[in-house]
Structure 1
Amino acid sequence: MPERHVVIGSSSGLHARPASLFVQAAGRQPVAVTVGRPGERAVDARSMLSVLALGAKH
């Protein structure tokens, strides 16, 4: 399975507005997209609640 590691550039992290854009982009993909933090279980990137629950910070 292809994998990509990224760093969140925003100093405020992945809060509601950018998370919403991310979830919308993930929903447009023809394949399943997951997102997670190192050492934690990945979640469905199409779920706004799951993405926000990650607590992804800068």
Structure 2
Amino acid sequence: MKSVFRYLLIFALLVGALSAYSYGNQTGVFLFVLLGFVLEAGFWFGLFPIKRRNQR
């Protein structure tokens, strides 16, 4: 169940980023382009999480 929720969240971030880019490009509002950038960053960091090694 955890992985299904993770994949749905990643998909929602991607769709949100594409929508924000599209709306920002269409209307010329730079705030939506920044929002798209933030959502895209969330997509990439969610897709490839940072794995930390245990240091002993």
TM-score where L is the length of structure 1: 0.35
TM-score where L is the length of structure 2: 0.36
Higher percent of residues as strand = 1
Higher relative contact order at CA 8 Å, sep ≥6: structure 1 or structure 2?
Answer: 1
Of structures 1 and 2, the larger Rg is shown by 2
Higher percent of residues as helix = 2
